[in-house]
Structure 1
């Protein structure tokens, strides 16, 4: 699940790898620059070697699940009772957990299969 397009109005918008806010560094061409966020730029060479992101993304879900656990413990297991702010915090934590785990798996250099 790479993110496209990575630019809006000619400016970097979305990281091609993890979906976070992109910078002006990309790994594509002028038509689709495939911009990366600051954290993914640090592992740019490893990202270039990935041919299929699917197995990495499946592994990255574990990071999202691990990030969600403490919030469920804190907020309670009935999501219908959560405030909008709690839901947004929860979604952000899952997204960040997935993105962090994705970079960890890519950085390791071993496909998770």
Structure 2
């Protein structure tokens, strides 16, 4: 796998690079590729068994950050946003999902 292949990170779902976790045998078909940011916390990632709880908790972080962005724009109606403003909102959501998820994983958050 090269970083040019269109594969999503096993952890945060952003673009993965050629680093994988969980590849235990040559017959494994999915080594669970991860992105650069998640590779930096690979030891913490390895101990997470169920990402669902982390993903659900991360939505609180995403909601807060997206709300801050929209608040800075002073707009509450997406129809009133320019194309760039809407794209930046979605970029904020995607980036903050990964950032929030990695933060929870590093903290070892017990739910």
Correspondence 1:28 to 2:22: yes
Deviates more, 1:99-108 or 1:54-63: 54-63
Structural RMSD (CA): 2.0
Quote how far apart the aligned CAs of 1:12 are.
6.0
Quote how far apart the aligned CAs of 1:70 are.
2.2
Structure 2 equivalent of residue 4 of structure 1: none
Moved over 2 A (4+): 10-13
TM-score of the aligned structures, taking structure 2 as reference length: 0.83
Q: Give the aligned length.
A: 105
TM-score of the aligned structures, taking structure 1 as reference length: 0.82
Quote how far apart the aligned CAs of 1:50 are.
0.8
Structure 1 equivalent of residue 65 of structure 2: 67
Secondary structure, aligned partner of 1:31? coil
| Structure 2 residue ranges without an equivalent (≥5) | none
Distance 1:49 1:95 in 2: 23
